[in-house]
A and B are shown apart, each in its own frame.
Chain A
Amino acid sequence: MEIKPLLWRAVLLSMALLTALPILAVFGYVFVPAPEVWQHLRETVLSDYLLNTLWLVLGVGFGVLLLGLPAAWLNSMCQFPGQRFFEWALLLPLAMPAYIIAYTYTGMLDFSGPVQSLLRELTGWGYGDYYFPNVRSLGGAITMLSLVLFPYVYLLARAAFLEQSICVLEVSRTLGSNQWQSFFRVALPLARPAIITGLSLALMETLADFGTVQYFGVTTFTTGIFRTWFGLGDHAAASQLAALLMGFVFVLILLERWSRHKARYHHTSSKYSRLPRYPLRGSYAVAAVLVCALPLLLGFVIPVGQLLYWSVTTATNGLDADFIKLVWNSIMLASLAALFALLLALILGYGKRLSNDPLVNLTARIAAMGYAIPGTVIAIGVLIPFAWMDTQLNTISQQWRGSTIGLVLSGTLFTVLFAYNVRFLAVSLQTVEAGLGKIKPTLDNAGRSLGLSAFGVLHRLHLPLMKGTLLTAILLVFVDVLKELPATLILRPFNFNTLAVRAYELASDERLADAGLPSLMIVVAGIIPVILLSRSIGKSRAGEH
């Protein structure tokens, strides 16, 4: 296809610049001095931010490995009751945003919740008579995040175990190592790069988390940025905190890149034999079921049960016109963002396919980075340039017409959509690229040689082949936007509410039961991508023919 090179490059360059804008804006503030606020931060909360973030990362890192690894091993190598069910069901906690699981456990475990009430009833203890761990703590945040993020480790570790040629394990047996020794000497080291990839994805989400730590009152970088921006009103200091947080994120991105790079050399073979799963019996089978059932129960079934209970009890007052407005807002916003992201992803995806322009790769790389950047950072990175542009526009308008025109960009839906695209373009881009990758260039050639025009190739070959891909890309971004909290909270127009924001506000107002219905809707929507994911896994099982 002929594309006018100049126009094409201009489109690409502006896409790259716009996606990078929030990051550039944040780093642009690094050298703006904000001595007083920093002095204040250093004296009061900075060490808390650092330590809490560090503990959170360490704790969640340990937690996701503990929950994800044994389940991954059991589900790739063993046979036990319910294994086929657990194989995909263990992905379900991914549908549960961390801030929502935090609400449910707070509701269940706080002083007036059912667990402690039952405990008091059974023992006759009163207030202060017993010790009960406080959910709304650093340890609680670690537990909540681990419960919903462990599927990343599970997913990647399981894929790595399945990908290993069974011959490698058998060779180890013929060389005198038993099953356990073979696991630790061969399978685990081989899966290490994949496990590190899963771990770094989980930790990126941990660093990005705002809703959970804010609700639990754990001061980390994300809550600190929020507080410094809105509470102290210091944009420079907030940006500098954001830049520091980005530094941690970059470390994780590098770690992830490095481990993916290493994984290439850890590929054992292109030939796979049928995986003979060891059948587990008796107490071993019970243990295996427990190892899989516990994370599933705690990370999905129990919190969903609590949300259902709340939704049923509040349904009569909850389902009013306001709520319908809320659902409509969310769906409208998420659909717009998803379509917008798909459009950009298609431009980039086809650009990559049709030209070797290094600019395309650069743009795609920058776009892909957005997914790792915490929503809070993106939000203020968007606010800074948009507020600046608004000021400029108003100055011009004042000079020309003698009156201001108000906020044109910031505080509008456009800002929110823009931020979503910075954050989620990577999701649709990855999907589109994967879909296009399956359409071999020779297919285009075959189409052209059979008399199709360039447009004909698009219409008669690509469109039918890409239909599923396009739908997947839209769905994934849709659900991600639906769950997104911090950027929406910061950037939404005045009085514009979404399900996530409303759930957050209700929970913050101690109206947990009322937060149940909007939360439940988010979780239900979140199950869609999990189903898509487990389907695509089912199709591409390397270990079995």
Chain B
Amino acid sequence: MSKLTLQNIHIRYSNNAVVHAVSLTVEDGQIGCLLGPSGCGKTTLLRAIAGFESVTQGSITLNGQLISDHNTHLPPEKRTIGMVFQDYALFPHLNIADNITFGIRKQSSQDKARRVAELLELVNLPGYAKRYPHELSGGQQQRIALARALAPRPRLLLLDEPFGSQDVELREMLAREVRDILKREGMTAILVTHDQHEAFAMADEIGVLQQGRLQQWDTGYNLYHKPANAFVAGFIGQGVLLPGIVLNHNTVATALGNVHGDVPESCQPECPVSVLIRPDDLRLVADSPHPATVISRGFRGAEYLYGLALNDGSQLLALTPSHQAHPIGASVCIELDLQHLVILPTLTSY
């Protein structure tokens, strides 16, 4: 059993709060993810779990053992928490086998050899034991870094931007590969990334962090479809917040007409709200009461991403199949195709 619990974690450098009141739980065998823009505090939080930073307030427990609070700090080497770094940090003076056995040197040489063979098999690099790190490609080095971290059978595995050095096209594939390996080992893990596709491909649950605060801890699906606030709505996927006025408990009036869906209870009629419009919520049609002008166009292969301006000046994004080509400046008609409504109480725009 490996259950990680963070309770009301604060981390401050001198007077600067880097992490603020973060609480979360990763259940045994689950893969969690801390997602956010750079400087949001996600790496600091990860390093606090590893034991490289101390917490100012709150507590971190692993399997019920308190490992960090304001006056407890178990040093990193005593935590049995493995870590994979963005630059892999393989030991360049040691060969692959010695890298992997670095953390299990007290075991017998037979046990070590068995573990090396087993892990190289797991990361699909059998026969690389005697190679040196500089002879390996980036992707191979990364898998060895993973094998090395898994060797001592840590209670928890931390991955700091593990695919950051890879080509963008490779990242998702690698993320799925690593997920498979971790799931096979039944590993509890936390990933830190700024790339939501990586997060979706790898994690069971994702926490979105902004300015040191946890905005939402949820599945990828819910982050996209039920964002808790405007920041999450803007950060996950693309979209535009369209201003609207609440009419009743399931209707909001907008520039695109009345839209229907659950209105949060905090929003009384007459209350100004924002309605999240994803690019795939809009259709360009031959005729509708809502004319718009094409102001930008991005070709995406299968689709076009259009930037549209309504008559009142508000702007929207629309994703359409790429055979529907409209030049910039063209007049089009749009129609809302909302599967469900995301209404956010504030008008703060991101």
Contact = CB atoms under 8 A, between A and B. Distances in A.
Interface of A: 165, 167-168, 170-178, 185-186, 189-190, 192, 265-271, 276
B217 to A, nearest CB: 25
B45 interface: no
B89 A269 contact: yes
Contacts of B83: 170-171, 174
A176 B92 contact: no
B103 A269 contact: no
Contacts of B79: 174
B132 interface: yes
Given A168-B91, A177-B77, 4 more contacts: A171-B85, A175-B149, A190-B91, A269-B88
Interface string B150-185: 011010000000000100000000000000000000
B102 interface: yes
A344 to B, nearest CB: 37
A268 B103 contact: no
A177 B85 CA distance: 17
Nearest to A190: B93
Given A174-B50, A174-B149, A190 B92 contact: yes
Size bracket of the B interface: 20 to 34
Given A176-B103, A176-B152, A269 B76 contact: no
B193 to A, nearest CB: 16
A173 B77 contact: yes
A170 B77 contact: no
A171 B47 CA distance: 12
A165 B93 contact: no
A167 B75 contact: no
B86 interface: yes
Most B CB contacts (10 A, CB to CB) among A174, A190, A268, A269 go to A174
Interface string B274-300: 000000000000000000000000000
B114 interface: no
B76 A167 contact: no
A536 B169 CA distance: 40
Contacts of A268: 87, 89, 92
A177 B76 CA distance: 9
Nearest to B93: A189
A173 B47 CA distance: 12
Of B77, B81, B89, B154, chain A has the most CB atoms within 10 Å of the CB of: B89
A185 B77 CA distance: 14
Contacts of A176: 77-78, 80, 103, 152
Contacts of A178: 75, 77
Contact of A174 (B77, B86, B88, B91): B77
Nearest to B132: A265
Interface in B43-93: 50-52, 75-83, 85-89, 91-93
Contacts of A192: 93
A265 B92 contact: yes
7 contacts: A167-B86, A167-B87, A174-B50, A177-B77, A190-B92, A269-B87, A271-B86
Contacts of B92: 190, 265-268
A390 B103 CA distance: 71
B134 interface: yes
Contacts of B10: none
